[in-house]
């Protein structure tokens, strides 16, 4: 870590305490936290320095690295590029994969029918806007507008929301970065993180995220945990870093300190 990257004193102290946890879960959002944003979601990758830090953490005893994302599990496994035993939470908490086995079922036939009906109704609106596209997920889909002209993007998001709510009043609708998402099941990253915490039997959790939906996970943290917001947006997290590069430096520092404590 260079002097310019030096940790804020409060984060430095919190990291030192966390590094000594008997059994530690490092649970991380992916896009905007480990990986810089790109136009094609399937091309997103964790920064190389973040990937190295995650590997260093994974190599330590009693230390579990997990990803908690709005992506589908399939997409998250593809971009995350972590070993198959890595716990993954996808679809904002709905899909959970603990270890290398098959994930728990996320939706049933009735859910799929609702998704298909909604998608068929919104697809023509999306197809009419240059650059807009639909990313499918098990319990819904995301309408991406990242490369759409600003006014057209705002109009599409508004029209899609109105059409969706007129068709299905029980939908969960989420705003993201240049994306609006529709889901027929309501789950949050807080639910996903609670499942990881309980099933993995950890004493402390580091969670870091950059987006609105990460706040649900940050709100579940307790005194022994550490929450980090990546970027400048409003947050309940006690600590903040500027960007994925700074987050990678925090993860690298945690690995160094924990290795030192565990080998003392
Ligand atoms: O919870 P996350 O891991 O942060 O996932 C949130 C959404 O990430 C992806 O979309 C975002 O990143 C894309 C790649 O950088 C970018 O093109 C898009 O504009 C962003 O919204 C993903 O495609 C979504 O499904 C996730 O919900």
Choose which residue among 34, 176, 193, 209 to substitute to test ligand 1 binding: the one with the highest number of ligand atoms within 8 A of its C-beta.
Answer: 176
pLDDT tens-digit profile, the chain (264 residues): 554 457 899 999 999 999 999 999 999 999 999 999 999 999 999 999 999 999 999 999 999 999 999 999 999 999 999 999 999 999 999 999 997 777 767 799 999 999 999 999 999 999 999 999 999 999 999 999 999 999 999 999 999 999 999 999 999 999 999 999 999 999 999 999 999 999 999 999 999 999 999 999 999 999 999 999 999 999 999 999 999 999 999 999 999 999 999 999
3-state DSSP of 24-67: EEEEECCECCCECCCCCHHHCCCCHHHHHHHHHHHCCCCEEEEE
174 beta partners? 181
pLDDT at position 4 is 45
188 lines ligand 1 (CB under 6 A): no
Domains, in order of start, for the chain? 3-105+188-262 (3.40.50.1000), 109-183 (3.30.70)
pLDDT value, residue 6 = 77
* Pocket lining: 179 vs ligand 1, CB cutoff 6 Å: yes
First to last CA, the chain: 22
**Predicted local confidence at residue 7, as pLDDT:** 87
Closest residue by CA, ligand 1 atom 24:
71
| CA-to-CA dists, residue 122 to 177, 224, 235, angstroms | 19, 44, 32
Tell me the C-alpha to C-alpha distance, in Å, between residue 72 and each of 116, 200, 261.
16, 21, 36
Decide: 134 and 119 in contact? Cβ < 8 Å. yes
Q: Is 37 in the pocket of ligand 1 (CB under 6 A)?
A: yes
pLDDT of residue 100: 72
Say what the pLDDT of residue 5 is: 59
Is the predicted ipTM greater than 0.95, yes or no? yes
Question: Based on the number of CB atoms within 10 Å of its own CB, is 208 exposed (0-12), middle (13-18) or buried (19 or more)?
Answer: buried
Report the pLDDT value the prediction gives residue 63, as an integer from 0 to 100.
98
Whole-angstrom Cα distance, residue 209 to residue 218? 8
How far apart CA 72 and CA 93 sit, in angstroms, is: 10
Q: Residues 193, 207: contact at Cβ < 8 Å?
A: yes
Regarding the beta carbon of 190 and ligand 1, being less than 6 Å apart is answered no
């Amino acid at each position: 870590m260079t002097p310019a990257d030096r940790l804020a004193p409060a984060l430095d102290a919190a990291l030192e305490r966390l590094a000594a946890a008997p059994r530690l879960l490092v649970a991380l959002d992916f896009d905007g936290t480990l990986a810089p944003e790109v136009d094609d979601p399937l091309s997103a990758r964790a920064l190389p320095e973040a990937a190295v830090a995650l590997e260093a953490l994974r190599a330590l005893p009693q230390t579990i690295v997990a990803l908690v994302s709005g992506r589908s599990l399939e997409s998250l496994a593809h971009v995350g590029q972590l070993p198959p035993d890595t716990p993954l939470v996808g679809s904002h908490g709905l899909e959970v994969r603990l270890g290398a086995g098959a994930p728990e079922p996320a939706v049933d036939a009735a859910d799929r029918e609702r998704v298909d009906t909604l998608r068929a109704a919104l697809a023509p609106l999306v197809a009419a806007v240059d650059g807009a596209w639909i990313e499918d997920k098990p319990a819904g889909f995301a309408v991406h507008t990242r490369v759409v002209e600003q006014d057209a993007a705002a109009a599409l998001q508004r029209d899609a929301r109105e059409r969706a709510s007129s068709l299905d009043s029980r939908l969960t609708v989420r705003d993201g970065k240049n994306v609006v998402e529709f889901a027929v099941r309501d789950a949050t990253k807080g639910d996903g993180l609670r499942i990881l915490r309980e099933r993995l039997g950890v004493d402390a959790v580091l969670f870091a995220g950059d987006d609105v939906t990460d706040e649900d996970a940050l709100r579940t943290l307790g005194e022994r945990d550490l929450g980090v917001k990546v970027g400048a947006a409003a947050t309940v997290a006690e600590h903040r870093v500027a960007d994925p590069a700074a987050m990678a430096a925090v993860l690298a520092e945690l690995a160094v300190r924990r290795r030192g404590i565990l080998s003392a």
